[in-house]
Structure 1
Amino acid sequence: MIIFITGATAGFGAAMVKRFINKGYKVIATGRRSERLDQMKAEYGDHLYPLVLDVQDKEMVSKAIDSLPAEWKRIDVLINNAGLALGTELAQKASLEDWDTMIQTNINGFLYCTHKILPDMVSRNHGQIINLGSVAGEFPYQGGNVYGATKAFVHQMSMNLRSDLLGTNVRVTNIEPGMCHTEFSEVRFKGDKEKADSVYKGIKALSADDIAETIDWVITRPAHVNINVISLMPTQQAFAGFSVHRT
């Protein structure tokens, strides 16, 4: 099995690489940080193919995938993992640049990789696409504005792909994690580790390994079974009621 993972150099992606290679799968690990990819290659050897890739760059995505050696071209599973949140400001105070970056990565990057890889899966009548959404795509919170909207797009696009793929054996799943303790919050708070760590204070959050294990379960279901959506949270996270502003 060949698995193509975007955003493979940290967090969920790095945990997936480790788990899948340890199971004997071959992994195309992509990311912008070539030094991390080099380290992964040194650690995992021939089961890993490192591919420097910025999913925001449409031409780079196309050329990078075209450049894969023949023995790596038959991708069985595409995991659209690359994504990020930037800032928690209210919409009226948020950075337009941050909004653009989230849209370019979380939406366009997901689309560029899917559009490039999906046709071959359909022609072979075999393959699976795993998209990393978020509970933020379903449940809004203050400051989640564009991040939540991008994950709502991932959810709906995953459902629409399933509709388009009816009659084929290509499967699509949207994974929607809740609070996970990875580099996610450090990126969101632009390197402020103290602020990022405070998000998880007193909470046993999900881990990157939890997400990798969940995806492993999804891709090992029988070929006739499609898992549409998995929403998962730590037990210390649940749902709040409506917000009300009183005058």
Structure 2
Amino acid sequence: MTLDSMPVALVTGATAGFGTAITRKLIKDGYRVIATGRREERLHALAKEQGEAVLPWPLDVADNAAVRALPTSLPAGWRNVDVLVNNAGLALGLQKAWETNIDDWETMIATNIGGIVETTRALLPGMVQRNRGHLIFLGSTAGRYPYPGSNVYGASKAFVDQFTQNLRSDLLGKSIRVTNVAPGLCGGSEFSLVRLKDGNKAEAVYENTSPLTPEDIANTVSWIVGCPPHMNVNYIEMMPTCQAAAGLAVDRTMG
């Protein structure tokens, strides 16, 4: 198979964690990958590692103008995106709602919601025109199970769940698949460090656990993409065996 004949995937947030692992796995599966992210040097390092099957493309998904320009700004041979992996996202802080930094909320909304809305709207018309494609979104168990301090982060992942389900409704009758991949506790990424801004606190999140890994997520994405074209995996939730959904909380000091 020549490079030009290989299907194209675009992965957001490809500079670390899930995005890097997914990029590597999709290349093994025979895809060319447009690897996007804000840290250009990491994108070029990934391209050097993986060769010409990677197109490094600096992109901030919160930059609406840059995202909307993708259909025409990408090189001609890379514009027909077959798989869009909406991976870029973040959590900031664990403060209670009345204590949080409102700027952190705005950043999460712009990235976790605005980013996936913009990338989807930019690339979906081409998929519809070609009547093929797969939209994969990295959601989270936080979109279904609340916990203290999750507030806007959890709400942004609940948006992913509803957005994917409604996209499937819109796409009924089209050969385009939509999947929400919702991991629980997962190590080996920058997630907790970005959230807590403290290396020791970030390490403590995974202390005495065997969390999921970015490779687990990448292998799951690979399996979903490799399913028969008539099969849509709507939602897949993943947790390590050391994790389970907590029961409802009860405060016994208020009686």
State if a TM-score over 0.5 links the two structures: yes
SS of 1:158 mapped into structure 2: helix
Quick one: which of 166, 175, 182 aligns to 2:172? 166
Q: Which residue in 2 is equivalent to 1:183? A: 190
1:149 matched to 2:155? The reply is yes
1:67 matched to 2:73? The reply is yes
Deviation at 1:241, TM superposition (A): 1.2
1:225 matched to 2:231? The reply is yes
1:130 matched to 2:136? The reply is yes
Amino acid at match of 1:90: K
Deviation at 1:22, TM superposition (A): 2.3
- 1:143-190 Cα shifts (integer Å, max 9, x gaps): 000000000000000000000000100000000000000210001012
Q: Which residue in 2 is equivalent to 1:235? A: 241
Runs of 5+ in structure 2 lacking a partner? Answer: 1-6
1:26 matched to 2:35? The reply is no
Quick one: which of 17, 22, 28 aligns to 1:11? 17
* 1:111-126 superposed matches below 5 A: 111-126=117-132
Amino acid at match of 1:109: G
8 Å CA contact 1:53–1:64 kept in 2: the answer is no
- 1:188-244 Cα shifts (integer Å, max 9, x gaps): 012x11100100000000000000000000000001000000001000000211111
SS of 2:180 mapped into structure 1: strand
Deviation at 1:65, TM superposition (A): 4.0
SS of 2:152 mapped into structure 1: helix
Q: CA RMSD in A?
A: 0.8
8 Å CA contact 2:90–2:191 kept in 1: the answer is yes
Runs of 5+ in structure 1 lacking a partner? Answer: none
Q: Which residue in 2 is equivalent to 1:204? A: 210
SS of 1:130 mapped into structure 2: strand
1:193 matched to 2:214? The reply is no
1: CA distance between counterparts of 2:127 and 2:71?
14
Deviation at 1:24, TM superposition (A): 2.5
- 1:19-39 Cα shifts (integer Å, max 9, x gaps): 111233100000000111111
8 Å CA contact 2:186–2:212 kept in 1: the answer is yes
2: CA distance between counterparts of 1:57 and 1:19?
27
Q: Which residue in 1 is equivalent to 2:88? A: 82
* 1:51-66 superposed matches below 5 A: 51-66=57-72
Amino acid at match of 1:187: V
1: CA distance between counterparts of 2:43 and 2:71?
16
8 Å CA contact 1:179–1:233 kept in 2: the answer is yes
Between the two proteins, the alignment pairs up a number of residues equal to 246
1: CA distance between counterparts of 2:9 and 2:50?
14
